[in-house]
Each structure stands twice: as C-alpha cells, then as structure tokens.
Amino acid sequence: MSQFQRFLAKRIGIAAALTLVAVTIIFFTLRLLPGSPFTQLVASGNLSEQQVAEILSLYGLNKPLHEQYLIYLQNLLTFQFGYSIRQTRPVWEILGPKLFNTLILLVPALVTTAVLSTLLGMYAGWKRGSWLETGSIVTTTFLRSTPVFITALLFIIVFSYTLDLVPAFGMREITASPTGFADTYLSVDFLHHYLLPFTVAVLYYSGDFLLLARNGVVEQKGSEFLKLHKAKGLSETEQLLRTGRNSLLPVLTYFALRLGMIFQGLILLEVVFGWPGIGRQLVMSISQQDFPVVQAAVFLMALAVIVMNLVADVLSAYFDPAVTAGGGS
Amino acid sequence: MSVDSVEPVRSWLRSGVDRVASNLRFIAGDTPAAVGFAVIATFAFLGVFGPVIAPHDPIRYSVQTGQGTIARLNAPTLAAPFGTTAYGKDVFSQFLAGARPTFIVGLFGGLATGGVGFLVGLVAGYFGGTVDEVLMRLTDLTFSLPFMPMALLLLTFVQPNIWVITAIVAAFLWKMPARVIRSEVLSVSERTFVRSAKASGAGHLRTMFVHVAPNVLPIAFLYTAYGVAWSIAAQASLAFLGFGDPTTTSWGRMLRQVFASGSIRVAWWWVIPPAVGIAAVTTSVFLIGRAYEEVINPEISEQSQ
C-alpha cells in the first residue's frame, strides 16, 4: 500500500468508529434519560394495558436494552428509521423532503459565498491596509460572529415588514399546494420566498471564506515565489491569481467541513424563516417528543459531519503530501 | 516580610502593569479593536450592574398609561425610553437586566472552553504517542457530534438554567482551542530550550507548565476570548429556540418573546436593543481577536508592510 492508501484506510476506519460512537451516544441519551414520550403516553392513562403492550412491541421497546441497541444499529445501517410517533408515517417519508428543502437552500448559498467571498478576500489581502480590507473584515466579522437568527430578524424587519419586498415566512404561499418537483421548486413564488433566507445564509458564511483567502494571500506577499512572478513581468491581476491559486487548498477543505455542518448550522435560520427543512423539523420533533424522528435527524446531521470531515482530510492529504508524511493526525 | 521577598512581587506587578499598558496601547492603535474594547467594557459593566441600575423589575413591573391601564406595545416614550413589550413590560429594564445571564454564560463558558482546550492541547501535544491519539480521537468525536442538536436534546431532559447551559457549551466547544494549542505545543516542544530543560532533568509537569505553556498562552487567551463569543451566541440561540433558563430575562429570551408573540411585525423597539446588544458584543470579541491574531500568527505579521 502506498502512503496515501494507508492514510486513507486509517481515516476511513476512524470515521466508521466515530459514527458508531456517535450513534451509541444518541441512542443512550434518548433511552436512559428520564421522561421519554413512551412513559408519557402510558402515564396519560387513556390506553388499556393491552394497547400499551402493543405500542411498546411495535417500537421494539419491550425487548431488553441491548437487543434494542442492536436492532437500532442494524436499522441505521440500512437507513431504516422506523415510524414517527406523532404522524403515522415512516420517519424517512417525513425527513426526506425536509432534507431536500435544506439542501436546496444551503448548498447554492454555500457555493455562492465560497466563490464570491474567496475572490473578495483575495483582493482584500492584496490591497493590504486599504479601507476596502478593513471594511470587508469588519463587515464579515459582524456577519459571522453574530448569531444567524439575529441577522435574519434584522433582515426580516427591513426587507419584509418595512420595505415589503419579500415574504418573511415559509417556502411557498400558504395557499399554494404544489404537486411534483418542478411545481414545488421552479416557480416565481418559490423564488420570492427563497431570496431572503438565501441572502442571509450567503452573508453568514461569507466571513470565514473571506478571511481564509485574505490570510492566504497576505502570507504569500513578499515571498520568493511572488518576486519571481513580478520579475517575470506578470501583470498585477496575474500575480494575484497565481498567489490565490496557492491558497485555495485551505478554502477547499474548509468548504468540505462547512458542507458537513450545513444541516445543524442553520437550524435557527430555518426556524426564523419558517423554512420547512430538517433543522426546523428537528426542533418541532423535539418539542413533540417524537423520538424516532429526532434520532434519525440527529444521526443524519452527525453522519454529514463525519463524512465531510473525512472528505476534507482526504482532500488536503491528496493535494498536500506533507500531511500524509506526517502521519496525518 | 523582608525586602528580598517583596522585590520579586513588586517587579512582577510592575511588569504586569506594563503588559496591560502595552496591550491597551496596541488595542488603541487598531480602530476596530478599540471600538470593540469599548463595547466589551460597557457590556461587562452592564453584566455586573445592569440589574441594579434597571429602573424597574424586568418581569413583575408593568408600565401604566395615563389612564391607569397597562401600556402594551408602546413605542419609546419618556416613561419607557425603549418602549414596552406586548405584556406591558419595560424594554429598557429588560435590556439592562438581560445583560447579566448573557454575561455570565459568556464569561464562564469562555473560561471553561479556553481552559479545558488549553489543558487538552498542552497534554496531547507534549506527551504525543498514545496520549495524543486518545485525546485527539476524543476531539474528533466532539467535532462529529453536532452541537446544536445535541444541546437541544440534553435540554429537553434537564431543566435549563444558565449553569447547565454554560456546562453544555464548554463540553462541546473546548475542541477548537485544543486542536490549535496542540499544534502550537508540537512546534514549541521541538525548540532547544524545551529539550535542554528535559535534558537537565526537569519533570514533565515542570517542563510542560514552566517551559512550554508560556509560549502557547497568547493563543489560549485568544481562544478563551473566542469562547466568550461562542458561548454568548450559543446561549442566545438556545434561548431563542425556547431552551433557555425560563426564570430569568436574557437578551436571547427577549428575542424569543418578541418573535413568538408575533409582535416582531410592529415592535422594532423590542427587537433592536437585545439584537444589537448580542451582535455588538460577539462582533467586538472577534475584532479584538483578529487584531491579536495578526500579532500571534507570525506568517501574517512578518509580511505586513
């Protein structure tokens, strides 16, 4: 095995082990802490003992804990999330569309911000000491350090309630009852609802990419490499692009990490905008104590982080051999 | 006490004062950091004295109109300079009182985040090998357990109060400083003075804390400051989702109330104070942090013209 393959095998092993530990923690957090929805269901007294036993066996809760745990692991591995307690539907039927709604909002936002703020950051680093550099740093620092729901609330107040340009809530008009994919996501109504949460997400993510790109360029200013290019008579733009290309690896790996955190990161954004995504569903299911849904949603969020961490590690190892040589930890 | 024993203390104090003074001069030289410092000083003042100087009880007191009825959703007036809430409470008093829980979670969450991260990073980087492997897999684990969902889960079972929230924040966020400090320790440990300290028979604890630790302290302080901002943001976010301490007024809880009551449509005066309060504090911490990062990170500062 080459050094890179060994590194890859080790990283995949670690990711698998982490997934196992993470799902174990989720399982025991939900089962062992007091006040499960099932005790509440039983304590409400409206059910006969017969019905209680039926419900418990339906959810496999009459089995010993270690058997429940094994069944749970088996089910997660096959993406069988069971049935929702509050809605008589399979969990996946509830979460699948929500997951898609989250992705359709956040992936384009993340890509947009990665491209735009990386370019802006490179330019800001190039113009070190200018008002543009200071201004862009202060602005994006504000946007990334302020909790996203606060930015969202301020934007809603300005653009929805004061200027009345875009709706403040939801993904479609309440009266709209779209059928099928195209009807749901390809309409003016959808776009209208999309603009504000999309913008806030782009602005929220912009800071990290801007600073990464800016630092990358600043670190290389005055390097031998750049002097060489200057000596070769390259134009300022050409020099900047060469410098920028060298600092793209951190941006790329950071993009992968951010993508992993996408579902959990903007729970608050979805709540504020009433966006029917997986984050908002999680908050609702927690308050309804619909544990099969909660369990599945948290699992998907953890899995996304683990997988994208793996991708980020592999990316940087692939493009920067010094990482694998150093053992990769 | 003899002069001999006082002298080191005195010189230590003097160098301490010098250090504070030079730090203040440094901050004053960087406009964004200077503004940030002023904001944080104000916030700290509110955190300590806010509830005392609040003119009314934030929850029990209701603002009255001239006719003797409760003033609901009133725009700012002389009687209530920041207006009133949908329940007739004084927004100004709530704003002042609400600084304290925000301040407590921020301060202790930040200290715990920085402290735990510092220790984990120091021990992992210093000992290396199995110790490092175990500690780093542990940080990997906290990186893969999504913070917000896990915090929400825990808070459904445990009655939230500011200390529980502080503990949850610290339990999840120490990973950030731990990684950065570990890699710093790795590079410091290679330096001659650490090797010679070890060679001359200094114990692990002594080498770690006397020779290695001072070199990574600036980064530990920086991440403690960031920890303050993360804690404040986490506390506000949890409170906004309804998972905050239900017994105290905090800025996050004020925002939850204005949002959940639907008054956000009209009552801008109820939204702006807590929103700007949180945004100003978290931004300020990061602006100061950035100014210091330029100094700490040699790659950025050496090239600066």
Among chain A residues, the shortest Cα distance to B36 is held by A138
CA distances from A236 to A126, A231, B135, B302 (A): 10, 12, 46, 22
Q: What is the full DSSP assignment across A47-66?
A: S-HHHHHHHHHHTTTTS-HH
Closest CA relative to residue A19, chosen from A301, A291, A283: A301
| Contact at CB, A287 and B136, closer than 8 angstroms | no
Integer Cα distance of A243 and A221 in angstroms:
8
pLDDT for the residue A198? 92
Asked if A309's CB is within 8 angstroms of B143's CB, the reply is yes
How many A-B residue pairs are in contact by the CB < 8 A criterion?
142
Judging contacts by C-beta atoms under 8 Å, the chain B residues touching residue A227 are: none
Contact state of A302 with B146 under an 8 Å Cβ cutoff: yes
Q: Is the pTM of this model over 0.95?
A: no
* ipTM of this complex: 0.83
Tokens of A90: 């399979």
Which residue, A141, A120, A102, is CA-closest to A275? A102
A233 SS3 class: coil
Instruction: Give pLDDT tens digits for B179-194.
Output: 888 888 888 777 777 7
Mean pLDDT of A200-226: 81
Average pLDDT, chain A: 80
Shortest distance between the Cα of B2 and any Cα of chain A, in A, equals: 51
Put simply, the chain A residues between 6 and 25 with a CB less than 8 A from any chain B CB are 14, 17-19, 21-22, 25
pLDDT of amino acid B303: 39
Name which of B133, B144, B255, B303 to mutate to probe chain A: the one with the most chain A Cβ atoms within 10 A of its Cβ: B144
pLDDT tens-place string over residues A8-47: 888 888 888 888 888 888 888 777 665 555 566 566 556 6
Residues of A with CB below 8 A from B148's CB? 264-265, 267-268
pLDDT of residue A292: 82
Closest residue of chain B to A146, computed from CA coordinates: B279
* 303-322 of A, contacting B, C-beta below 8 A: 305-306, 309
Residue B12, min C-alpha distance to chain A (Å)? 36
Binned at pLDDT 50, 70 and 90, residue B302 comes out as very low
Name the pLDDT band for B4 (thresholds 50, 70, 90). low
Which residue in A19, A102, A145 has the most chain B C-beta atoms within 10 A of its own C-beta, making it the best mutation to test that interface?
Answer: A145
What pLDDT score was predicted for residue A324? Answer: 55
Report the distance separating Cα B286 and Cα B281, nearest Å. 9
Tokens representing B83 are 């207006």
At residue B108 the predicted structure's pLDDT band, cuts being 50, 70 and 90, is: very high
Does the beta-carbon distance from A128 to B290 stay under 8 Å? no
CB A280 within 8 A of CB A132: no
Q: What percent of chain B has pLDDT over 90?
A: 7
Nearest one of B256, B241, B119 to B174, comparing CA atoms: B119
Query: A140-154 burial by CB neighbour count: b if 16+ within 10 A, else e?
Result: bbbbbbbbbbbbbbb
Higher pLDDT among residues B96 and A62, named by residue:
B96
Closest residue of A to B283, CA-based?
A: A142
Give pLDDT tens digits for B226-265. 899 999 999 999 989 888 888 888 888 888 888 888 777 8
Query: From CA B226, how far away is CA B106, in angstroms rounded?
Result: 10
CB B131 within 8 A of CB B124: yes
Selected for mutation to probe chain B from A30, A136, A146 (highest B CB count within 10 Å) is: A146
Whether pLDDT at B3 is above 50 = no
Contact check, Cβ <8 Å, A161/B282: no
Q: What is the pLDDT of residues A92-126, one digit of tens each?
A: 888 888 888 888 888 899 899 988 988 888 888 88
How close A161 gets to chain B, by Cα (Å)? 6
- Chain B contacts of A308, Cβ < 8 Å? none
* pLDDT over 70 at B75, yes or no: no
Mutation choice for B interface testing from A95, A141, A203, A223 by most B CBs within 10 A: A141
- A287 vs B contacts (CB less than 8 Å): 156, 242
Residue A297 at interface with chain B, using a CB cutoff of 8 Å: yes
Residues of A in Cβ contact (< 8 Å) with B290:
137, 141, 211
Of residues B214 and A173, the one with the higher pLDDT is: B214
Is A137 in the B-facing interface, judged by CB distances under 8 Å?
yes
Q: Do A302 and B265 touch (CB under 8 A)?
A: no
Q: Which of B154, B242, B279 sits opposite A142 (nearest CB)?
A: B279
Cβ within 8 Å, pair A153-B31: no
Who has greater pLDDT, B137 or A325? B137
Amino acid code (one letter) for B276: V
Does A267 reach chain B within 8 Å, measured CB to CB? yes
Q: What is the mean pLDDT of chain B?
A: 79
pLDDT > 70? residue A65 = yes
pLDDT at B304: 37
Q: Nearest by CB to A301, which of B149, B259, B286?
A: B149
Q: Is A258 on the interface with B (CB under 8 A)?
A: no
Contact A268 B264 (CB under 8 A): no
β-pair partners for B70:
B64
- Does A265 sit within 8 Å of B264, measured CB to CB? no
Rounded CA separation B34/A209 (Å)? 25
